[in-house]
């Protein structure tokens, strides 16, 4: 490897670290914001998205370890823990969303939740694009895969936003637990991919 190629690779690695730390920081703040919004609105979708942010923190940590040259065994152990987290998230959301629909519980309007999920969707789409480009340039499958997780995180934020907006604008209270089911599908899929070794 030439000196210029090594310098270019180091610059790409710094960009990869920046993107992961930005994702990590955003989700740490997001957990606190979403906890406040979910409790005040009694929203299952916001609570589920907050738990998803916690799992995204774990995923970003795995990539930071990998970019630092950490061994394969530790990465696989961390991925298994993330898979367990996704499975527990799916179980919680499945039960909670079903209970909310069966008893007809109406969540409150959440301006904070609407604003945060809207901004989060934009931020996650931008971070996902950066990770895809950087991962391709580094030929790093772990960074590329986590970039797809970040992209899905943005899509989930948009789904939760839609549920919150429909509840606020039209009184469609059932849109909130339906958004929770979207998160169930995502969590089950991610857990399955991790445990099957395809993640």
Give SS3 for 104.
coil
Question: The domain spanning residue 9 has which CATH number?
Answer: 1.20.1510
Burial class from Cβ neighbours inside 10 Å (0-12, 13-18, 19+) for residue 93 reads: buried
Q: In the predicted model, is pLDDT for residue 121 greater than 80?
A: yes
Residue 46 has pLDDT above 60, yes or no: yes
The total domain count for the chain is 1
Tracing tokens 């772990």 back to the chain, one arrives at 142
Angstrom distances, CA of residue 64 to CA of 117, 129, 140: 25, 18, 12
Is residue 118 exposed (0-12), middle (13-18) or buried (19+ Cβ within 10 Å)? middle
Determine the average pLDDT of the residues in 145-159.
Answer: 85
Full domain range(s) for residue 14: 3-196
Banded model confidence at residue 89, pLDDT cuts 50, 70, 90? confident
Cα separation, 192 vs 186, whole angstroms: 10
- Rounded to two decimals, the pTM is 0.83
């Amino acid at each position: 490897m030439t000196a210029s190629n090594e310098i270019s690779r180091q610059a790409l690695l710094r960009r990869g670290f920046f993107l992961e730390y930005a994702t990590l920081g955003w989700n740490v703040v997001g957990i606190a914001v979403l906890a406040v919004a979910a409790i005040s609105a009694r929203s299952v979708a916001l609570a589920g998205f907050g738990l998803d942010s916690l799992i995204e923190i774990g995923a970003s940590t795995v990539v930071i370890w990998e970019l630092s040259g950490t061994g394969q065994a530790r990465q696989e152990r961390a991925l298994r823990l993330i898979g367990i987290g996704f499975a527990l998230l799916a179980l919680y959301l499945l039960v909670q969303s079903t209970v909310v629909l069966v008893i007809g519980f109406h969540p409150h309007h959440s301006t904070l939740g609407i604003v945060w999920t809207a901004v989060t969707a934009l931020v996650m789409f931008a971070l996902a694009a950066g990770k895809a480009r950087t991962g391709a340039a580094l030929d790093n499958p772990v960074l590329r895969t986590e970039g797809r997780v970040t992209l899905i995180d943005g899509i989930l934020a948009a789904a939760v936003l839609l549920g919150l907006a429909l509840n606020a604008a039209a009184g469609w209270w059932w849109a909130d637990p339906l958004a929770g089911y979207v998160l169930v599908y995502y969590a089950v899929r991610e857990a399955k991919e991790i445990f099957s070794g395809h993640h």
